[in-house]
Amino acid sequence: ASSTSPAVSYVVAGPASITGTTKVGQKITCSITAGATITYKWTKNGAEVAGVTTKDVTVPASWLNGSVTCSATVTKNATSVTQTSAAKTIALGNAPVATVKPKLKGTFKVGKIITCAKGTWSPTPDSYKYAWFRGAKKIAGATKATYKLVKADKGKKVACQVTVKKAGHADGKAKSAAKLIS
């Protein structure tokens, strides 16, 4: 005589982990090995992040310095198992980079006003600051996108530097090519 026991449903789910670069602006993934339906939840500093239920997340600036975990709930035949990753701390994102460097525009003669074109940056900054240089020395008080050339500039090279800020990222800096003033 043979007998067969009723089938028992079980769920196999490996440990959850966060993979990717844990910096603002970078993509991170909640990774788990499982052969069933999976739902995801992210937490920051122990509190569930509302509305974030995807496997992959681009780290927002609001997560900077936070302790982040992901949980994966694996469900098969009405049985569920939840695995939670180890916490990871989110670091400052990479500085924006000038894909097109700042450039000086105008007539390069004493008494004329020249402009520092800010260039193109990636990712797009939230704000821009300007500094002007005569040779290697910063010109005191010159902090606008425009600068009026003075007698001290004659025969010297002038350049501008743009410093950009983006929430959750390091500051980015780029300097224009210098122009000789006549």
Distance CA 168, CA 26 (A): 11
- Confidence (pTM): 0.77
Over the stretch 67-97, which tens digit does the pLDDT of each residue have?
A: 999 999 988 877 888 999 999 999 999 999 9
pLDDT in tens, 109-130: 999 999 999 999 999 999 999 9
Strands 172-175 and 157-165: antiparallel
Would you state the structure tokens that stand for residue 180, as one six-digit string? 């000789």
**Long-range contacts of 48-53, Cβ-Cβ distance < 8 Å, separation of 24 or more:** none
pLDDT tens string, the chain, 182 residues long: the values are 666 666 555 555 678 999 999 999 999 999 988 767 889 999 999 999 999 999 999 999 999 999 999 999 988 877 888 999 999 999 999 999 999 999 999 999 999 999 999 999 999 999 999 999 999 999 999 999 999 999 999 999 999 999 999 999 999 999 999 999 99
CB 96 within 8 A of CB 90: no
Measured distance CA(26)–CA(94) in Å, rounded: 9
Res 13: pLDDT? 65
Nearest to 18 by CA among 75, 68, 81: 68
